[in-house]
Structure 1
């Protein structure tokens, strides 16, 4: 079945945060705080000894979704990533952070890659295949903007709290 380029669709950002790497690490692994920072993720909680977590997302149209995530990359303090599952055995997405230590600052590279699992993006593209490129680009642009918003809010919150976020 043709998925019109959904599987493997990727976006990412690169942001320099004015925080040391260990502080940024504490933020990106503080899943329970993502609801404070993200324009889309409204809730996160660790399950099963920090190997999996649950998350809830709210979209601009009011739709709320529940997903479970499995940590697939854990290389403290430089890489953290997870696969997202919406009830299937295959992931619908993979998220990852790569951190580069720059002394008092940290270069953050965050990426999103759509997996083969079902998602709202896939449903939208299958419903409107003649607009697939536009729909995919729009969602990837939205995700990149959300990444920037989340990291800016995280940076501000960590600066105010002296870098305490709750460690993995």
Structure 2
């Protein structure tokens, strides 16, 4: 397709200051198997290999959307800079990613500034299919999904931070 109506490269992001030191936040954002506890959409995650948290490692994620639609995707870690940056590409049935997710952490003493971003890739996704089915509504559809993703990111980061603080009472792992 030559004109994807603005889907590829559509991006959003959030910044959330959490009351946890950076090592605790790193532990949370790399705990793929716990995302289902915190995320409004992702209900399952599991590492697919024993490589550790390194670029090239793979994990499976399963998502459930408000309309009941579910996706099963494979994610490949693209960055794993301990205590600083964790990122992955999301793949469906194509060799190109349908999305890129990234966390950047900034240590601030016993607090951490968490920056999370989402960028849509060229792969086929629900957003792309929705835009293609109603091209006259493309801008509105894209912005609506980006707004929803930003709200979900805030929710996930806040829920993760709350769970980690309560895990030991002080947020220290």
**TM-score of the two chains, using structure 1 as the length reference:** 0.96
- Tell me, which stretches of 5 or more residues in structure 2 are unaligned? none
Shift of 1:76: 0.3
Higher alpha-carbon deviation: 155-164 or 44-53: 155-164
Match of 2:92 in 1: 86
The answer to whether 1:77 aligns with 2:77 is no
Structure 1 counterpart SS, 2:131:
helix
Matched, 1:105 2:111: yes
Q: CA deviation at 1:151?
A: 0.6
Give the TM-score normalised by the residue count of structure 2.
Answer: 0.93
Correspondence for 1:96 among 98, 102, 127: 102
**Where does residue 47 of structure 1 map in the other structure?**
48
Name the residue aligned to 1:68.
Answer: 74
Runs of 4+ with deviation above 3 angstroms:
none
Deviation track 1:15-50 (CA, whole Å, cap 9, x = no partner) reads 000000000000000000000000000000001124
Where in structure 2 are the equivalents of 1:80-159 lying within 5 Å? 80-159=86-165
Query: CA contact under 8 A between 1:26 and 1:164: conserved in structure 2?
Result: no
- Is the 2:21–2:172 Cα contact (8 Å) retained in structure 1? no
Q: Deviations over 1:120-158 (max 9, x none)?
A: 000000000000000000000000000000011001100
Per the alignment, in what secondary structure is the counterpart of residue 5 of structure 2? coil
Shift of 1:164: 7.6
Distance 2:107 2:165 in 1: 17
> 1:87, CA displacement in angstroms?
1.4
Q: What is the count of residue pairs matched by the alignment? A: 165
Query: Following the alignment from structure 1 to structure 2, what is the Cα–Cα distance between the partners of residues 14 and 149?
Result: 12
Describe the superposition over 1:51-87 as per-residue Cα deviations: whole angstroms up to 9, x where unpaired: 1000000000001110000000110010000000011
CA distance in 1, matches of 2:78, 2:161: 24
Aligned to 1:16: 17
Unaligned runs of 5+ in 1: none
